[in-house]
Amino acid sequence: MAEIKKLTDLQNTEYGTKKIFEEAQDFLPLNGTDYVELYVGNAKQSAHFYKTAFGFQSEAYAGLETGLKDRVSYVLKQDKIRLVLTSPLTKGGEINKHIDLHGDGVKVVALWVDDATKAYEETVKRGAKSYMKPTKEEDEFGHVIRSGIYTYGETVHIFVERKNYSGAFLPGYRKWESHYNPAPVGLKFIDHMVGNVGWNKMKEWCDFYAKVMGFAQIVSFTDDDISTEYTALMSKVMSNGNGRIKFPINEPAEGKKKSQIEEYLDFYNGPGVQHIAVATNDIVATVSAMRERGVEFLYVPEEYYDDLLERVGEIDEDVEVLKKHGILIDRDEEGYLLQIFTKTIVDRPTMFFEVIQRKGARSFGVGNFKALFEAIEREQLNRGTL
Ligand code: FE2
């Protein structure tokens, strides 16, 4: 409870936070992120990339060999993070359509619950659009109940109840044994996942998380907070009651040039997941390993580090090492955080990852927004999309 109190301290009152938190406990308790599923053009090769570059481990597999006819899925794991990569095996159908429209991208943000039927009923009752009615799936390892609702764009939340299951991932999947097992890079869990929505849609989707899922708004940034000379965006961070699920929602704002959010919306053809922030306990080691394995990060100019210690005070890390990697630092009342952003990891300028290490801070690096957005603008300039 003490943890929640602190979260609420940060909150403004737009959604009557306290009340919502109490309600959240009642109607949609979430244990954490269960998995994130991406629809991709070539799951076999994507899986190789996430193993090699990001240190994910082979976990489970479903495809022709397990009786599927139209799709294949690879499940990868690193500590508490589960990624599912799914590709179609035939023409037509929902997955091909998704890839045609959006490129490789996140389809499912699955949430781990104790009761998937109740999660479905409570959210649909409050206005969620149904994606999947509560469905029991079983095999020799027990059963799982899943249900799902739509969120922004074509993205969905699937509620996963797995307390009666001991298999590799879900019924229908089998353990994926691979002879190729690159070491993990220290990614621990998903810290937050950010959604980009269209012009003037931020409030609508924050309202959705507040009213339909019982989340509370913990932070709000206006375009005054998040703008550079050229581009701007607005953002609000929605969190569930226990703080394990945090979804910042971005919308573009008017600037002299095209906002990165607008660029995303153009290439993704609508709203979707912009970035997945993954936590590490040692950002320098994690980022060093990822760089060695070919992950590209946004470039941060050296001047960012000139007055760093004046801005953030004492830190445990060597500034020269942070500078070498382009790791950003920000401090709030509770501590500090270190963060870094990859370049977009798919061909369309849409999705990317953030690596974050929190040392007390619960915020989202507002002090770094300007440096970050200038770095993104440099990329946009290279792409001719600024
Ligand atoms: Fe982030």
Asked if pLDDT for residue 248 goes beyond 60, the answer is yes
Distance 106 CA to ligand 1 centre (A): 16
Pairing of strands 246-253, 187-196: parallel
Distance 334 CA to ligand 1 centre (A): 18
In this structure, the answer to whether residues 200 and 332 fall within a common structural domain is yes
Provide the mean pLDDT of the chain: 91
Within a domain: 14: no
Within a domain: 342: yes
Within a domain: 3: no
Distance 278 CA to ligand 1 centre (A): 9
Q: What is the CATH number of the domain that holds 80?
A: 3.10.180.10
Q: Which of the pair, 28 or 374, is modelled with greater confidence?
A: 28
Rounded to a whole number of angstroms, the distance between the first and last alpha carbons of the chain is 45
Distance 358 CA to ligand 1 centre (A): 12
In this structure, the answer to whether residues 274 and 158 fall within a common structural domain is no
Distance 339 CA to ligand 1 centre (A): 8
Q: Give the pLDDT band (50/70/90) at residue 367.
A: confident
pLDDT of residue 225: 76
- Give the residue-averaged pLDDT of 25-43: 93
In this structure, the answer to whether residues 306 and 215 fall within a common structural domain is yes
- Give the residue-averaged pLDDT of 319-331: 94
Distance 34 CA to ligand 1 centre (A): 19
pLDDT of residue 233: 83
pLDDT of residue 24: 52
In this structure, the answer to whether residues 102 and 155 fall within a common structural domain is yes
pLDDT of residue 22: 54
pLDDT of residue 112: 97
Dist CA 37 CA 242 (whole Å): 23
State percent of the chain over pLDDT 70.
Answer: 93
Distance 338 CA to ligand 1 centre (A): 11
Distance 187 CA to ligand 1 centre (A): 15
DSSP designation for 170 = S
Distance 364 CA to ligand 1 centre (A): 6
Distance 248 CA to ligand 1 centre (A): 8
Within a domain: 8: no
**Residue finishing a domain among 175, 201, 218:** 175
Structure confidence by residue, pLDDT tens digits, 152-173? 999 999 999 999 999 999 999 9
Which residue reads 């006819």 in tokens?
69
In this structure, the answer to whether residues 167 and 312 fall within a common structural domain is no
Distance 375 CA to ligand 1 centre (A): 15
**Residue finishing a domain among 111, 140, 175:** 175
In this structure, the answer to whether residues 115 and 201 fall within a common structural domain is no
Structure confidence by residue, pLDDT tens digits, 112-135? 999 999 999 999 999 999 999 999
In this structure, the answer to whether residues 246 and 288 fall within a common structural domain is yes
In this structure, the answer to whether residues 146 and 285 fall within a common structural domain is no
Q: Give the pLDDT band (50/70/90) at residue 283.
A: very high
pLDDT of residue 208: 97
Within a domain: 2: no
In this structure, the answer to whether residues 372 and 224 fall within a common structural domain is yes
In this structure, the answer to whether residues 151 and 286 fall within a common structural domain is no
In this structure, the answer to whether residues 356 and 255 fall within a common structural domain is yes
Within a domain: 268: yes
Which residues are paired to 74 by β-bridges? 61, 85
Distance 369 CA to ligand 1 centre (A): 10
For 120, the domain range is 32-175
Q: Give the pLDDT band (50/70/90) at residue 386.
A: confident
Within a domain: 63: yes
Within a domain: 208: yes
Q: Which of the pair, 362 or 197, is modelled with greater confidence?
A: 197
Overall domain count for the chain = 2
Closest CA to 152 of 191, 216, 204: 204
Asked if pLDDT for residue 69 goes beyond 70, the answer is yes
Most confidently predicted of 103-107, 255-259, 367-371, 376-380 = 103-107
Q: Are 19 and 210 in contact (CB under 8 A)?
A: no
Tokens of 219: 């932070």
Measured CA to CA in angstroms, residue 99 lies from 43, 82, 154, 268 at distances of: 12, 21, 11, 10
**Residue finishing a domain among 175, 207, 237:** 175
In this structure, the answer to whether residues 138 and 203 fall within a common structural domain is no
Distance 353 CA to ligand 1 centre (A): 8
Distance 95 CA to ligand 1 centre (A): 27
pLDDT of residue 256: 83
Measured CA to CA in angstroms, residue 342 lies from 325, 349, 372 at distances of: 11, 12, 11
- Range 91-100, long-range pairs (CB < 8 A, 24+ positions): 95/39, 95/71, 98/39, 98/154, 99/39, 99/40, 99/41
Distance 341 CA to ligand 1 centre (A): 8
pLDDT of residue 10: 41
